Chains A and B, each alone.
Chain A
Amino acid sequence: MSARREVRPSDSPFVERVTRVTYDAAVRELSTPDGTWDLVVLEREGRTLVLQTGLITRPVELENDAGDAYLAISFKPGVFLAKQPGVKTVDRGIVQPIVSPRAFSMDGETLEIPTFDNAEDLVARLARRGLLARDELVADAARGDVRAIGTRTLQRHFVHALGITPKQLAQIQRACRAVELLERGVAPAAVAIEMGYSDQPHMTRALKALVGRTPGQIRAR
């Protein structure tokens, strides 16, 4: 492997997971939709870049050189930046200005650049300063909790907080689970049935569009 990847869960009510990746060689890889948005600290050629990347709805190709590294704080569905909600950031990355070797600026606040181990400190500061918002309706729906709610209302909440519709999120979540099962070696026909695709070609099309790979390519990894 030319990349070392560490993922850890989080006990923060806002954070889904924290990921750190270090590249030992030049790698081109696809970043695929996973239903979360991230705050990313990117180390490239000795420079640090802080990005707020919105949800993506299609695969994005990333080019990395040896020595590059990034840290990603992925937020739970329903959590968003009050001034930069999902609707403004979907399929985009917003660069946050660096103000000193150890700090960056966001929404007029100066904040310490996070590390893999202290990511929750930054999140707690964002929450304390009122920069983080949480839409319970979206959080529950994304977890699969069922509520009697007009779908148009839910749609509006989703588009504001995440930038995508409930249906799009469900498709992304389903594709992610399908990839997990295919990587575990479950037969594509069985995965298609289990994930509720109408048939195997339907799953293949959906995975191509969202993940950029066919079931055969996913299994061959």
Chain B
Amino acid sequence: MKITPFRIDVSQTVLDDLRDRLARTRFPESPEGWSAGTDSAFMKRLTKHWLEAYDWRRHESALNAHPQFVADVNGTPIHFVHVRGRGPNPTPLLLIHAFPDSFHRFVGAIGPLTDPAAHGGDPALSFDVIIPSLPGFGFSGHTAMSVDATADTLAALMKGLGYERYLAGGGDGPIPMAMSHRHAESVAGIYCVDVGYPDGNTDFASLGPEEREFAQWIHAWWMREGAFNMIQSTKPSSLAFALNDSPVGLAAWLMILFASGAEDRVEERFTLDSLITNAMIYWVSGTIGSAMRSYLESARAMYASPAAPPRGRSDVPAAVARMPLDAPLPRAWAERRVNLVQFTEMARGGHHSSWEVPDLFAKDLRDFLVTLRRRSR
């Protein structure tokens, strides 16, 4: 596997063009508040901040403070951050982002994970962290891939880096769960904040009362908030023209999931700067089209073999964190979907725990490591 060092270096032409587009934004006449989608007052604040206060070069330097590389994985360039742990015998940890975020979701947790001693943790519980940009996202190749193809690509990346056994996850469940099914020999454990949702393959008769309540909550959520998934799984290109042409349009679409559940607190949870940096990663790389198309690839893979039996429970040891601002995930549902060895009811934070509460996130991962070591004795 060919690996080359990488630094983010966006040309001034791209930044000048962005400034021009931001300054000439045609805001739609949409109502204030979040009841019909992204709040126009919020977007005007964000745009003003982007134009007047946001300094990409500062954030670019901060991102470049982390060693980054591009590996050629079976013909697809995969960008990744690779930081080695400090301490005896660090555990390799593959951190897997999702949509509408980016590798940036994990940068705040790099310090606590790689150097626990400097963050009030035990140096014996340090990690080597590997944070790829998914295929089709950010600074990786612009090839949209299904969840399974992504799982295979990330497994090949880890093998190419010389990691035989590692932990995977850090947030959304689908890719780490697919890795646990397809690469069980390499994945020693998975860490997720979700483990899939009740759907057409669920035996509803067997659900307990808490799980049934969860299924109803999820159903209502799909109806209320889930349209993005349907669009991206069917006609992502129809939307990509607009989002690749308008930075404000792009940022407004990405807000779909960040605001979910606590719209009034979105700025204190994420800060405008970090929301803009996340949008910048999509903008400067021009990857919103391929990122959205990854949903279509997954849908195609699923419908290509309708006769295939649904995947059962994942057997790899799993830690699941229930985030207070995320779906009310019952322990019983987690036990049904994965080989649950740790279930944490987190005190603060939402779906993007590594971004919102990086110290709690890192501590939960260290606890997972302790749990796994205890089990293997």
In the complex, chain B residues whose CB is within 8 Å of the CB of A184: 89
B65 and A146 form a contact (CB under 8 A): yes
Q: How far apart are A199's CB and chain B's nearest CB, in angstroms?
A: 12
B67 and A145 form a contact (CB under 8 A): no
In the complex, what distance in Å separates the CA atom of A122 from the CA atom of B58?
39
In the complex, chain A residues whose CB is within 8 Å of the CB of B208: none
B3 and A180 form a contact (CB under 8 A): no
Supposing A181-B84, A194-B82 touch, asked if A146 and B62 sit within 8 A by C-beta, the answer is yes
The interface size bin for chain B is: 10 to 19
In the complex, how many residues of chain A place their beta carbon closer than 8 angstroms to a beta carbon of chain B? Answer: 15
In the complex, chain B residues whose CB is within 8 Å of the CB of A145: 65
Neighbour of A9 across the interface among B58, B65, B117, CB < 8 A: B117
User: Is A124 engaged at the interface, CB distance under 8 Å to the other chain?
Assistant: no
- Cβ proximity bits A31-62 to B, threshold 8 Å, 1 near / 0 not: 00000000000000000000000000000000
Considering only residues 77-97 of chain B, those with a C-beta below 8 Å from chain A are 82, 84, 89
Considering only residues 104-146 of chain B, those with a C-beta below 8 Å from chain A are 117-118
In the complex, chain B residues whose CB is within 8 Å of the CB of A144: 65
Write the chain B residue with the least CB distance to A145.
B65
A193 and B84 form a contact (CB under 8 A): no
Write the chain A residue with the least CB distance to B55.
A148
Considering only residues 101-150 of chain A, those with a C-beta below 8 Å from chain B are 144-146, 148
A196 and B61 form a contact (CB under 8 A): no
B5 and A190 form a contact (CB under 8 A): no
B84 and A180 form a contact (CB under 8 A): yes
B65 and A194 form a contact (CB under 8 A): no
A193 and B65 form a contact (CB under 8 A): no
B162 and A187 form a contact (CB under 8 A): yes
In the complex, chain A residues whose CB is within 8 Å of the CB of B162: 186-187, 190
Supposing A9-B117, A177-B84 touch, asked if A193 and B61 sit within 8 A by C-beta, the answer is no
In the complex, what distance in Å separates the CA atom of A138 from the CA atom of B61?
17
User: Is B69 engaged at the interface, CB distance under 8 Å to the other chain?
Assistant: yes
In the complex, chain A residues whose CB is within 8 Å of the CB of B118: 9
B5 and A196 form a contact (CB under 8 A): yes
In the complex, chain A residues whose CB is within 8 Å of the CB of B69: 193-194
Considering only residues 136-177 of chain A, those with a C-beta below 8 Å from chain B are 144-146, 148, 177
Where the two chains meet, the residues of B that have a C-beta atom closer than 8 Å to any C-beta of A are: 3-5, 58, 61-62, 64-65, 67, 69, 82, 84, 89, 117-118, 161-162
**7 smallest beta-carbon distances between A and B, as pairs:** A146-B61, A144-B65, A193-B3, A196-B5, A9-B117, A146-B65, A190-B162
Where the two chains meet, the residues of A that have a C-beta atom closer than 8 Å to any C-beta of B are: 9, 144-146, 148, 177, 180-181, 184, 186-187, 190, 193-194, 196
* Sample of 18 A–B contacts (CB below 8 Å): A9-B117, A9-B118, A144-B65, A145-B65, A146-B58, A146-B62, A146-B64, A146-B65, A148-B58, A177-B84, A180-B84, A181-B84, A186-B162, A190-B162, A193-B3, A193-B4, A193-B5, A194-B82
